Amino acid sequence: MISGGYDQTIRFWDLPAMDLTGKSFRSIEPPDDIIHTLVYSKTGDKFIMAGSSPQARVYDRDGHLLVEFVKGYPYITDMSSTKGHVSRVTCCLWHPTNKEQILTGSQDSSIRIWDINHHKGHRQIIKLRNAQGAAKAPVMACTMTSDGKQIVAASQDGSIQVFPAGGPFTRPRYRISAHENGSETAALVFKSDNVTLLSRGADDTLKIWDMRKLEAGPIKSFDLPNKYTEANVVWSPDEKIFAAGTNVLKAGGQNESDVGKIHFFDSTTLEEVKQITVSPESVVSLLWHPELNQIFAGCCDKTIHVFFDPKYSNKGILFSVSKAPKKKRIEDSQDTRYIMNPHALPMFKQPPSARRQREKARKDPLKAHIPEAPQIGPGVGGRLGSSLTASIMKNLVKKDEIDDDPRNALLKYAGSSSFWFKAYEETQPKPIFDLPSAPTTAPEEETTDNLAKFLNSKPKTPSDTTSNPPTPTPTPTNQ
């Protein structure tokens, strides 16, 4: 057995192996989905789930995802042009004659027929309209006859529409006003004769219809409080009795003594034959298993109540009732207490939690310091301003190497020694250079003396040249 709810969890129950503690043996959490509908296939090897998303999913019996149907494009107004639903899936069921096909209804006013082997798009689509045919009618519930020849859908305007399974789907074959306009029909259930139809609405009514005389109105109507779209109605295995749960409407001014009950009705006399008190909270969904002959009731207090008769029921929960809870042994216990050892090695130290690390970082002035944002615009308070243009130009304009001073470039290495020089600082001998002897007179002094001699010398005039002619040098002659 499987169960689901608003806690976004699907739980698996093994009734024969379960004891009186009533614990599930497995649970899965579909991604971001509140579970509204879970339906097993006839073979029991897979089930379909309808949640709060536009995509229905098919899982195997172990909870592994098999198929996720495609989501339609939400901005297309014509639903026949989309490959999938664009709004929440409200109902789903397996095709009664084809185990590879399923039906889904959605708030986008469409019913789609899918093939689980081709989940990238629907096979057929039925678009629902209101009585005037002008506005869309969101689908709240849908079902099919056991022979798979008719599709019945209930819309939010309170109408029930009947379509032939083979088409055409342009307009319904029958349309009746079953429940109040604006109420959400919770369930549609056929009898195996495909003639008797039960409808459960949010207008607090349960109605019985004859498919041969739909226009004549319901055969009978019962007043049953209902405020959940997941509420349903079920048939007994022999179809002599049908049952439905009631919701407790305490917030609406009802009697505080009202409790969740299951009401049983005779399908022949159409009279209520029995009531069973189940829970202080509402009874939302029911399951009357045809083979086990046991009733499972899901309630709002997160509990599932099982009813059986030791004489007429078989298997199922009967195995669990006969099993006492397993006794706890000392070797099965798990001690989760921490052992505090102050002298333990650092490798065994428990790492601090992320929350404590964040609190400690906030107290650190260096880590908690938030750097100031760059100054945009004119400078203020001693900070220089900058602009987008200036920062862009700074990256674009690169410094030219020609503008570098070669003297400063060489002086950068003047005081620094190479990396490997330190290895020879103590063992390297002092160098002795063969230098020429120093001149007696320093070059600077020699330059100064020559300059003084030049300044003290008197320049020669032309008169000095005439008065003192040069003495001719005698030339020797040959005698």
Dig out the tokens for 10 from the structure: 């699907």
What is the pLDDT, as a whole number, of residue 443?
53
Better-scored residue on pLDDT, 73 or 437: 73
Helix residue spans in 194-263 (DSSP H): none
Res 479: pLDDT: 40
Q: What is the reported pLDDT for 469?
A: 52
Q: How many alpha carbons fall within 13 Å on the CB side of residue 243?
A: 24
Average pLDDT score over residue span 392-400: 76
What's the pLDDT score for residue 362?
Answer: 86
Q: Which residues contact residue 94 at a Cβ distance below 8 angstroms, ignoring those fewer than 6 apart?
A: 39, 41, 42, 48, 101, 102, 103
pLDDT at 144 > cutoff 90: yes
Q: Report whether pLDDT(464) > 60.
A: no
Domain map (residue ranges) of the chain: 230-326
Q: Are 57 and 67 in contact (CB under 8 A)?
A: yes
Contact between 165 and 144 under an 8 Å Cβ cutoff? The reply is yes
What DSSP state is assigned to residue 274? E
Token pair recorded at residue 257: 């003594």
Range of weakest confidence among 171-175, 272-276, 434-438:
434-438
At residue 140 the predicted structure's pLDDT band, cuts being 50, 70 and 90, is very high
This prediction has a pTM of 0.65
Write out the H or E segment, with its range, that includes residue 91. Answer: strand 89-94
**pLDDT at 30 exceeding the cut of 70:** yes
Predicted local distance difference test score (pLDDT) of residue 384: 76
- Provide the pLDDT for residue 353: 81
Q: Which two tokens stand for residue 419?
A: 């990396």
pLDDT over 70 for what percent of the chain? 81
> If pLDDT is split at 50, 70 and 90, which confidence band does 253 have?
very low
- What share of residues in the chain are helix, strand, coil (percent, to 5)? 15, 30, 55
Scan for tokens 């779209």, then name that residue: 229
List pLDDT tens digits, range 63-121: 999 999 999 998 888 888 899 999 999 999 999 999 999 999 999 999 999 999 988 88
What is the torsion angle, in degrees rounded to the nearest 10, for the CA atoms of residue 309, residue 314, residue 316 and residue 318?
60
Mean pLDDT value of segment 438-462: 56
Place of tokens 């959400």: 184
What percent of the chain lies above the pLDDT cut of 90?
Answer: 38
Least reliable range by pLDDT among 166-175, 282-291, 297-306: 166-175
Q: Are 66 and 46 in contact (CB under 8 A)?
A: yes
